[in-house]
Structure 1
Amino acid sequence: MAQADLRFLGVDPDDEALYRLLLRRGGFGHAEVSRHLAHEAQQGIEPQDVYRRLTSLGLATETPGGLLAPVSPAKAVEGLVERQVDRLRAQLEEEAITSGVVDSLLAEHEKSLADGSRPADIQSSVQHIEGMAAVRAVIDELTFFTRTESLTTSPTGVLSQDTIDHARVLDTRILRRGVHMRTLLASPALDDATTMSYARELTTKGAHVRISYQPLERLIICDRTAALTPIDPTHTSKGAILTRDPGLVAALVSLFERMWHTAHDLPVSEDADATSAAFASTMERQILQSLCTADKDETAARELGVAVRTYRKHVASVMQRLGASNRFQAALLARERGWV
């Protein structure tokens, strides 16, 4: 039977050959990589490039001693599958947004409001959504259509694991699209390890999280065009009020901004090293690596599985965070901080 390969999971045959060699050997260093490249007549490729490719694919890890060690086959394949699924999802979501289908569907929605063809109870720009299942369905829809900004608050501060599991899918979706996310957590979050872990996870993906010591109103605002507030703030399970009224949404945005400006930045973890790569998100590291390896934005975007527009937005964000005036300077500063 012919040997199966990993090309369908986005792995180049040369990289797969190295991974299989790693599995047979159990690991090797720069010298072994150099000999392998020479034997395979792969000119112009440095061992560090091989290290970077295999580790970025999740096929290997670099040990403290500088050796390249293989990731177990099951874990490696699982990671490759997730990578391809994430890439396909990002491409489909980007296409859904840029193709015009979103505007087309929203036009139908607006038309039905204008001609009064919808049932009386949902013609209003303010709707009552009863029950948590219905509220989550509305949140799913709102986040799918969110293009530029997501503002949320958590008045209790503490997030249950169930809430996090549901939110992670939605949050990852919009952050991957380059949406600007700001989240406010009440101060009890500081004493809850699960909540703080997720808050820091969000920041590594590009979100901005702050802690408030003042009372918070529960809000979800998307693109400053739609907002959700609870029907009963003391019993949120009863449901929510969805408003698209421009005046009401603007007032809620103003309320969020006041709460945001009185809040404090998320504290740095006690065991965090200010010079470690942990302060760069996975996407930021991939963007920085692409600046060093890809000659065109189109090539880099294709390799990362995102649209060119989204790629350039991430580049601008990384440059701003590093305080760099150009891409070359961004690469240098990133190396100084140990991000790449």
Structure 2
Amino acid sequence: MARPSLQFLGVGREEEASYRRLLRCGATDPGQAVPDDVPADIADHLVELGIVTRTHTGALRPVPPARAVERLIERRLDRLRGELEDAAEADGIVDSLRKEREPAGAPPPVPSDAPTVQQIEGMEAVRAVIDELTFFARTESLTTNPTGIITPESADFSRPIDLRILRRGVRMRTLMAAPALDDPTTLSYLRELSAKGAEIRISHQPLERMIICDRHAALTPIDPADTSKGALLTREPGLVATLVTLFDRMWAMAQELPGQDDELLSEIERRILRALYDADKDESGARDLGISVRTYRKHVASLMTRLHAGNRFQAALLARERGWF
């Protein structure tokens, strides 16, 4: 029976052979030096794939198998998702399906040179429009949040949309009201997005709520005081341009998202966080850093407290999401 292979996850034969060899060396003798004859290009590719890391000495260390396969799956899914989204846009399937909702004998479409404003009623319908607009965004996404608060429910709804935009390389600019700085959930989510490339600023001046995609379509509330009533969707060039100008003016007056606690991290703490993410055991992490296991565990306990993490692996994931290493 043929041995299972990583090829279906995008790992070539030579890369897999090198990764397996690194695993064997580590399993045979935890203190043994890893092979130093892995070709440089293969080593670089293994690191890029996320299944091998380099220690502070430059030595190669294999990521534990379960975590390595998880990273390969996530990488493959991200690529597949992007390909499917591009294919769906090119095929026009969304427009085709949308037409099924149009009643028979519907009036002809509004002329292209006439103002186009559509009233969207109810939060469910508004969220559907947001999802559709962002799905087709290709260059820029501009958003504001006048309350400055993102609830856990809102974060759960927004996360796949925001990450999809950033994964596609769309420039994301987000303006948040000042209360964001005092809300842990909001601040954590904003820093998560910032670590993935989003541009975020904090405004101490009143903000007008809006979402603008590709400077082509804009969504504003029907009633700014009660967003549950719905929104207005406009594709009229003059109105969209005016809203973009307003956004740029508010953006210029806002401040950058304050630096994270990483400014307070020592170099040893950064290295420990990387070790938590890559090492199987405290002993191997401490050995790589050249410190005692007791000192290593003392730093780990402190970092877990700062991150409000329930375990070591969660602490490593939270730190990575916040861009701490």
The corresponding residue for 2:320 is none
- The TM-score, its normalising length taken from structure 1, stands at 0.66
| TM-aligned CA distance change 1:127 to 1:29, over 3 Å | farther
Tell me the CA shift for residue 211 of structure 1: 0.6
Alignment of 1:61 with 2:17, yes or no, is no
Aligned residues of 1:29 and 1:68 also touching (Cα < 8 A): no
Alignment of 1:186 with 2:177, yes or no, is yes
2:76 to 84, 89, 92: 84
The corresponding residue for 2:314 is none
Alignment of 1:148 with 2:150, yes or no, is no
Deviations 1:64-97 (A, max 9, x none): 4544333232222122111111111222333444
Alignment of 1:1-340 (within 5 A): 1-26=1-26, 32-35=34-37, 37=38, 45-46=39-40, 49-97=41-89, 99=90, 101=92, 116-117=107-108, 125-272=116-263
- The TM-score, its normalising length taken from structure 2, stands at 0.69
| TM-aligned CA distance change 1:56 to 1:190, over 3 Å | same
Q: Which runs of 5+ in 1 are unaligned?
A: 38-44, 279-340
Aligned residues of 2:217 and 2:233 also touching (Cα < 8 A): yes
Aligned equivalents of 1:30 and 1:268: distance in 2?
40
- Flag the structure with larger Rg: 2
What is the DSSP-based 3-state SS (H/G/I as helix, E as strand, rest coil) of the residue aligned with 1:227? strand
Aligned residues of 1:186 and 1:215 also touching (Cα < 8 A): yes
What is the DSSP-based 3-state SS (H/G/I as helix, E as strand, rest coil) of the residue aligned with 1:156? coil
* Number of aligned residues: 259
What is the DSSP-based 3-state SS (H/G/I as helix, E as strand, rest coil) of the residue aligned with 2:201? strand
Aligned residues of 1:29 and 1:66 also touching (Cα < 8 A): no
| TM-aligned CA distance change 1:236 to 1:80, over 3 Å | same
Aligned equivalents of 1:272 and 1:51: distance in 2?
31
Aligned equivalents of 2:31 and 2:238: distance in 1?
63
What is the DSSP-based 3-state SS (H/G/I as helix, E as strand, rest coil) of the residue aligned with 2:2? coil
Aligned equivalents of 2:248 and 2:31: distance in 1?
52
Tell me the CA shift for residue 155 of structure 1: 0.8
RMSD value, Cα: 3.5
The corresponding residue for 1:300 is none
What is the DSSP-based 3-state SS (H/G/I as helix, E as strand, rest coil) of the residue aligned with 1:267? coil
Aligned equivalents of 2:138 and 2:107: distance in 1?
28
Aligned equivalents of 1:102 and 1:176: distance in 2?
21
Deviations 1:121-145 (A, max 9, x none): xx98222222222111111110111
Aligned equivalents of 1:104 and 1:140: distance in 2?
14
What is the one-letter code of the residue matched to 1:242? L
Aligned residues: percent identity? 57
What is the DSSP-based 3-state SS (H/G/I as helix, E as strand, rest coil) of the residue aligned with 2:218? strand
Tell me the CA shift for residue 203 of structure 1: 2.5
Aligned residues of 1:186 and 1:214 also touching (Cα < 8 A): yes
Deviations 1:259-289 (A, max 9, x none): 1111011122232389x9x9xxxxxxxxxxx
